[in-house]
Amino acid sequence: MSIVKFALVLLVVVAGLVFHVRNDQLVVVDYYLANHEIPLSVALAMALLCGAILGVLSGLPSWLKLKRDKAKLSRQLRKYEPDPQDSADKSTDDTD
């Protein structure tokens, strides 16, 4: 399985390098206070990273709510489940 993972990582890295080589034109990224000329591939990678971060941040509240709900339900379930120690004690009492 690790060979498959390595091959996939290698494929992504090679694809990224090819993308960078094919898109090496300089573009101007204009901030409000400054501007910079960076390669197009770097600008696109930065936009992809920002989008991924924003996507994770937008899903974070619902993920935390689900995690909290799961913990609450687990506590409720433990309250109604029989204790394994009690069942072990009862089975030893029956043999006497």
Within a 13 Å sphere around the CA of 84, how many CA atoms are in the beta-carbon half?
Answer: 0
- pLDDT on residue 41: 86
Could you count the other beta carbons within 10 Å of the beta carbon of residue 9?
10
- pLDDT score, position 50: 95
Q: What is the pLDDT of residue 22?
A: 87
Q: Is the pTM of this model over 0.75?
A: no
3-state secondary structure of 29: strand
Say which residues have a Cβ less than 8 Å from residue 40's Cβ, sequence separation at least 6: 23, 24, 25, 26, 27
Locate the domains of the chain by residue range: 21-81
At 87 the pLDDT is 63
pLDDT reported for residue 21: 86
pLDDT for 20 equals 84
Using one digit for the tens of pLDDT, what is the confidence trace for 16-61? 888 888 888 999 988 889 999 999 988 888 999 999 999 999 999 9
pLDDT digits (tens, 9 = 90+) for 77-86: 988 887 767 6
